[in-house]
Amino acid sequence: MTSYELTTAERPTWCPGCGDWGILTALKKAIEELQLPNHNVLVVAGIGCSGHLPQWVNTFGFHSLHGRALPVATAAKFANHELNVIAVGGDGDGYGIGMGHFIHAMRRNVDLTYIVHDNQIYGLTTGQASPTSEKGFKTKSTPRGAIEPPVNPIALALASDCTFVARGFAGDVPHLTKLIVEGIKHKGFALIDVLQPCVTFNQLNTFDYFYRRVYKLEDDKNYNPNDKFEAFKRAFEWRNKIPIGLFYKEERKTYEDELPQLSKIPLVKHRIDNVDIRPLMEEFV
Ligand code: SF4
């Protein structure tokens, strides 16, 4: 499938110039580059501006509840582990209401790609502080400045045994495309946190703010993405220099690999014609 074929007839309703556009473009390019047939891709979203994304990519899609993209994506992956399952959400969706699911999906190492549109604000509800808003950031809900320190998704992912931890920038689509390609190819849970300027409600973390600060980890020849301690150090860089790229990667058995009932064929292809379930039904019904 080409990016053109992956484009739906409906036009996105995102604000002009929003970072979400860059993420949608990068996702379609990644699917094209990997030559994934669209019937073998499922995009699951939570709620927020990012939640509309499955409507605008020509694959299977599921618009779930707020913070619940990961449980839906996990269930889909267990039902058919041959499917490429990509979950998308925002920082409020994934790092706020969905935080519990986020941590457990990572430690389980479910084979999912999770793309987080991290714009440091609630955009769809018109501009309240989110879990990744900087301390002191003034919004409608924090007129005197946010009083809580922000969640650090990269450090949290490293501490939760995530096997692929990356950060992209919606203003660098070729680089983000590469990260999504690698994330989909990775066997295990891949987090791609994306710096995604909300041009309407966040006047602090703008494209210009990030253009002046981001640098690529892969440009540092001494950086080793298998060194978790070094990854932790980089995870805390923010104010003047913001790293993007692959922070950390390791190989570990996936949750699906650990389940004997999935080892031969996907659950959806199991046949139960010869199984007599009457004793079970009699016991419980
Ligand atoms: Fe993008 Fe912000 Fe507009 Fe939502 S409100 S579409 S995040 S610019």
pTM (two decimals): 0.95
Atom of ligand 1 nearest to the CA of 123: 5
Q: How far is the CA of 206 from the centre of ligand 1 (A)?
A: 12
- Among protein residues, the one whose CA lies closest to atom 3 of ligand 1: 15
- In DSSP notation, 63-121 reads E--TT-HHHHHHHHHHH-TTSEEEEEEEHHIIIIITHHHHHHHHHHT-S-EEEEEE-SS
**Number of neighbouring beta carbons within 10 Å of residue 44:** 29
Q: At what angle do helices 20-33 and 173-185 cross, to 10 degrees?
A: 50
The answer to whether the CB of 194 is under 6 A from ligand 1 is no
pLDDT score of 271: 77
Local confidence pLDDT in tens for the 285 residues of the chain = 899 999 999 999 999 999 999 999 999 999 999 999 999 999 999 999 999 999 999 999 999 999 999 999 999 999 999 999 999 999 999 999 999 999 999 999 999 999 999 999 999 999 999 999 999 999 999 999 999 999 999 999 999 999 999 999 999 999 999 999 999 999 999 999 999 999 999 999 999 999 999 999 999 999 999 999 999 999 999 989 999 999 999 999 999 999 988 888 898 888 777 778 888 889 988
**Biggest CA pair distance of the chain:** 67
Q: Which of 119, 128, 132, 196 to mutate to test the pocket of ligand 1 (most atoms within 8 A of CB)?
A: 119
pLDDT score of 280: 86
The answer to whether the CB of 199 is under 6 A from ligand 1 is yes
Backbone φ and ψ for 122, nearest 5 degrees, come out as -90, 110
Atom of ligand 1 nearest to the CA of 14: 6
The answer to whether the CB of 246 is under 6 A from ligand 1 is no
The answer to whether the CB of 200 is under 6 A from ligand 1 is yes
Question: What's the N-to-C CA distance of the chain in angstroms?
Answer: 48
Residue in 56, 46, 44, 43 with CA at minimum distance from that of residue 14: 56
What beta strand segments (E) does the chain contain?
A: 41-45, 60-63, 84-90, 113-118, 164-169, 190-195, 214-216, 242-249
